[in-house]
Amino acid sequence: MFERQLAIVTGGASGIGFGISEALIKAEYDVVLVGRNEERLASAAKKLGSAVQWRCADVGRRADMERAVGDFERVSLLINAAGFISPVSLVMPLDEAESNWDAVIDANLKGSFLSAMLVAPKLKSPGGTIINISSIGAQTGGSRPGGLAYAAAKAGIHGLTYALARELAPRGITANAIAPGFIAATGFTGAWPEDRVAEIVAQTPLGRPGTPADVAGAVLWLASEAGSFVTGTVIPVNGGWRIG
C-alpha cells in the first residue's frame, strides 16, 4: 500500500512557506503547518485542503514546539520557513535594537534550531530531509540599512545547515538551505514601493522578481531522489541578483 510522506512546514501559512506547502500537497505529501497566527493557519489549511493539518506555535519557544510536533512519529521532510524581519541598525536606541534583535534571532534562527532538534529523531532514515529557508541577505547584509539582525540570523542558518548535514549524514538524512532573492507578493515584500521593486528587478539578470513557486521548485528537487546526494549546501534562488 502506498504510504504518503509527511512534511512539517514552519511558517507554512503564508508567503514562501505557503507556496512550498501548496507544492508539497501537489506532490502528494501530507503537510503540517506550524505558525503563530491561528486565524492565518486555519485559512491556509482551508485553501490547501484535506491533506493539511496545522499547529499553532511560536517556533522560538521550546514548549510550543514540543507540543506542535510531539505527536508525530515519522516525518519525511522538515521545512524551516518561519521568520520575519524587524529593523535593527546602528542609529537606533539600544533598547529598541536589542529587543528587535532578540525577536528576529528567536524566530529565524532559534526556531530553526528547535525544529531540527525536535524533528530530527523522527526523520525517515535513510531518506529524510531538512531544508532551511535562508535569504540573500545572509550574504549581502540586506538591500537597505536595518538588516543587522536579519542578516545575522540568516547567516546563522547557513552554519546550522552545515552542522546538521554533518551530524545527520550517517543516518542517510540530508540538510540543505535555500537562499531566495527578491520574492514578490509575500509578507516581507508585498508592501515594498514600486520604485524599489523596479530597482531590484533591474539588477536581476533574469529580469523578473521571484515567486514562492520558484523556491518550492528547489524544495521539491532537494526532497526528491534526484537531490539525495546533495547535503550541506546553500542553493541561491535569486534570478542571478548576486551577479547583477
What residues act catalytically?
Answer: 150
Those residues whose C-beta lies under 8 Å from the C-beta of residue 89, and which sit 6 or more positions away, are 97, 145, 146, 147, 148
Rounded Cα distance between 236 and 240, Å, is 8
Rounded Cα distance between 230 and 244, Å, is 26
The SS3 assignment for 20 reads helix
The SS3 assignment for 135 reads coil
The SS3 assignment for 96 reads helix
Rounded Cα distance between 174 and 131, Å, is 8
Burial readout 180-210 (b: 16 or more C-beta within 10 A, e: otherwise): bbbbbebebbeebeeeeeeebbebbeeeebb
Angle at 59 between CA 54 and CA 62, to 5 degrees: 110
Half-sphere exposure of 241 (CA within 13 A, CB side): 25
Contact 119, 78 (CB under 8 A): yes
> Strand ranges (DSSP E) for the chain?
5-10, 29-35, 52-56, 77-80, 129-133, 174-180, 234-237
